[in-house]
C-alpha cells in the first residue's frame, strides 16, 4: 500500500517558469513533510520541509503548500533554472508519539528545466 502518492513522474518546464509537483498522503498520523532533491550520482538532500501547523513555507524560490484537510502538499519552484533539473522526492513521517518510523517516500519526479 503506497502511503505517499507523487505526481507527475516527469516534468519539463521552460527556464523562468513555475514547476509544480504534487503529493498526497493517506496516514493522518504523518506530521512532517520534507522534500528531497537528488542530482545524478548523488544521494538525496533535504530541500525544504513543513509541519502541518502551517499552510505554506517558503525558502527562496522554493515553496511548500500544505492542505491538511485534503491530505495534500506540493512543491512550487518559482523562476525555474536549468540547475534545478533533478529528481524530487516528497516524503512523510511521524515525529510525535511512540515508535521509530522512517520516512515514507513518494516515487519521485524527474524535473527537466529547458534553457
Segment interacting with another protein (CB under 8 A) among 19-27, 54-62, 73-81, 105-113: 105-113
Please say which residue, 72 or 87, places its beta carbon nearer to another protein: 87
For residues 10-49, which are near another protein according to CB under 8 A? 32, 34, 41-46, 49
Choose which of 52, 76, 107, 112 interacts with another protein (CB under 8 A). 107
Instruction: Output helix, strand, coil percentages for the chain, rounded to the nearest 5.
Output: 5, 55, 45
All 3 cell numbers of residue 102?
522512517
Does residue 82 sit in helix, strand or coil? helix
Cis peptide before 88 (omega within 30 of 0): no
Q: Which of 33, 66, 73, 89 binds another protein (CB under 8 A)?
A: 89
Shortest distance, position 60 Cβ to another protein, whole Å: 17
Residues 6+ apart with CB under 8 A from 80: 13, 14, 15, 16, 17, 18, 19, 61, 111, 113
Contacting positions for another protein (CB under 8 A): 6, 9, 32, 34, 41-46, 49, 89, 93, 95, 99-103, 105-108
Amino acid at each position: 500500500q503506497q502511503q505517499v502518492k507523487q505526481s507527475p513522474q516527469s516534468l519539463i518546464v521552460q527556464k523562468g517558469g513555475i514547476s509544480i509537483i504534487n503529493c498526497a498522503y493517506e496516514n493522518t498520523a504523518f506530521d512532517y513533510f520534507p522534500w528531497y532533491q537528488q542530482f545524478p550520482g548523488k544521494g538525496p538532500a533535504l530541500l525544504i520541509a513543513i509541519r502541518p501547523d502551517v499552510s505554506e513555507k517558503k525558502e527562496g524560490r522554493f515553496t511548500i503548500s500544505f492542505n491538511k484537510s485534503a491530505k495534500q502538499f506540493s512543491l512550487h519552484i518559482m523562476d525555474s533554472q536549468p540547475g534545478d533539473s533533478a529528481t524530487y522526492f516528497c516524503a512523510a513521517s511521524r515525529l510525535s508519539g511512540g515508535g521509530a518510523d522512517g520516512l515514507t517516500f513518494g516515487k519521485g519526479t524527474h524535473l527537466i528545466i529547458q534553457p
